[in-house]
């Protein structure tokens, strides 16, 4: 069985997107995703400075958009062959979309709001995160909590992440002297702790009407390592995760229990593969660094693919990529091919095409011509039939 993994914040490096732009479909998707999130993701991933792409509101959409653009090159060809999908922190939004539970546009809308909300929460008071490497986990956790800090991530393979006020983090190395090594992380806040409560509430308000269906591929949850098959439960977990610890150690346990033989890590790849090698040394890993690695990923999928699916959705929805006034396109819509413009949104900032990411039969319009719509609002319901999917 093969698992497809999506990394989280901190995996990015300046210029990491450059090699992927040689792939025409990936470049086209990134242009579209840039329109959805309102940021030039191509520029950020190629010429953006380390400081620019470290910014939470920028980094999170960039990571999810990249994982989606590359992930579709693997998943779309044979979604049933992927055994498990797992994402670390914000990477969970990417795998939720790749599983079919969310549309790409819904995932990108949520990550845009998530990043902005977490950046705002981080600005309230000086907080941060530090990785604690090595040591007995029980001793490390006790020291973190005694220092008035939170255990934000349990990553397994001898890595635990502490989070909280910067002054308390500064004292942590002395508290763990001779026990474990402490390394400050280049993030702007105490993510996955109660410091993010306001961000969780904002995301919950937005996600309440997010279009979601049951995933087609098994998704492993950061909350507890459980395999989630209910779309609404998956969305609830994505919201709660903003202010709750990441249990990547539990995800690793699930991969081991499911006898995962190989993992493919989406870009910017490296962080999760390193954890897999330490925690699950017998598992083959492939880090996707550029288009030249896609054939190797497909070969691994053919070798280790499960050939089963958890769920097959009977319909999909197309959602609004931004706010604006809706104009329905004057085209025949009974059988829609992927990438066809089915409507347009007009706002003060210009006109944006609403493109169907999936083929099928347009069953029902969920909004009318001339309606004002909001980002992420469902516009049309489609049945996956009658067109090449």
Q: CA angle 111-9-251, nearest 5°?
A: 95
Q: What gap in Å lies between CA 38 and CA 70, rounded to an integer?
A: 20
Examine the residue annotation and report whether 356 is marked as an active-site residue of this protein: no
CA 24 vs. chain centroid, Å, equals: 22
CA distance 45 to 13: 8
Of 166, 165, 163, which Cα lies nearest the Cα of 155? 163
Residue 334 tokens read as 């009974």
Residue 311 known to be catalytic: no
Interatomic CA distance for residues 204 and 193, integer angstroms: 16
- Phi, psi (deg, nearest 5) at residue 263: -130, 145
- Given a contact cutoff of 8 angstroms between Cβ atoms, the answer to whether 127 and 246 are in contact is no
Catalytic residue among 192, 221, 304, 358: 192
**Tokens of residue 232, six digits:** 């609404």
Task: Say if residues 387 and 378 touch (Cβ distance below 8 Å).
Answer: no
Burial 137-147 (b: 16+ CB within 10 A, else e): beebbebbeeb
Query: Which one from 89, 99, 122, 322 is the annotated catalytic residue?
Result: 89
Q: Are 354 and 320 in contact (CB under 8 A)?
A: yes
- Which residues are the active-site residues? 89, 192
């Amino acid at each position: 069985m093969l698992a497809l993994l999506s990394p989280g914040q901190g995996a990015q490096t300046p210029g990491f997107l450059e090699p992927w732009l040689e792939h025409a479909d990936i470049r086209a998707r990134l242009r579209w995703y840039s329109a959805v999130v309102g940021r030039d993701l191509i520029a950020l991933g190629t010429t953006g400075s380390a400081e620019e792409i470290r910014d939470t509101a920028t980094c999170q959409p960039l990571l999810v958009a990249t994982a989606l653009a590359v992930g579709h090159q693997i998943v779309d060809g044979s979604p049933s062959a992927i055994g498990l999908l797992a994402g670390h922190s914000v990477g969970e939004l990417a795998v939720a979309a790749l599983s079919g539970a969310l549309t790409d546009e819904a995932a990108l809308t949520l990550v845009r709001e998530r990043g902005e909300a977490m950046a705002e929460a981080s600005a309230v008071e000086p907080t941060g995160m530090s990785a604690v490497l090595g040591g007995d986990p029980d001793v490390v956790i006790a020291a973190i909590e005694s220092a008035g800090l939170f255990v934000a991530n349990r990553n397994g393979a001898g890595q635990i992440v502490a989070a909280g006020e910067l002054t308390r983090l500064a004292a942590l190395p002395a508290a763990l002297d001779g026990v474990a090594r402490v390394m400050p992380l280049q993030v702007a806040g105490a993510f996955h702790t109660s410091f993010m409560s306001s961000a969780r509430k904002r995301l919950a308000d937005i996600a309440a009407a997010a279009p979601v269906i049951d995933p087609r591929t098994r998704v492993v949850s950061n909350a507890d390592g459980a395999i989630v098959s209910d779309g609404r439960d998956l969305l609830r977990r994505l919201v709660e995760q903003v202010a709750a610890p990441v249990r990547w150690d539990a995800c690793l346990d699930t991969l081991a229990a499911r006898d995962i033989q190989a993992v493919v890590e989406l870009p910017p790849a490296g962080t999760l593969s390193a954890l897999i090698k330490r925690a699950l040394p017998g598992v083959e890993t492939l880090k996707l660094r550029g288009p030249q690695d896609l054939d190797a990923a497909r070969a691994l999928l053919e070798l280790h693919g499960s050939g089963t699916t958890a769920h097959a959705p009977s319909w999909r929805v197309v959602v609004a990529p931004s706010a604006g006034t809706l104009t329905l396109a004057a085209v025949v819509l009974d059988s829609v091919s992927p990438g066809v413009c089915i409507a347009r949104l007009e706002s003060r900032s210009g006109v944006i095409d609403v493109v169907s990411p999936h083929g099928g039969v347009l069953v029902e319009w969920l909004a009318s011509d001339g309606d004002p719509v909001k980002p992420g609002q469902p516009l049309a319901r489609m049945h996956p039939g009658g067109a090449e999917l």
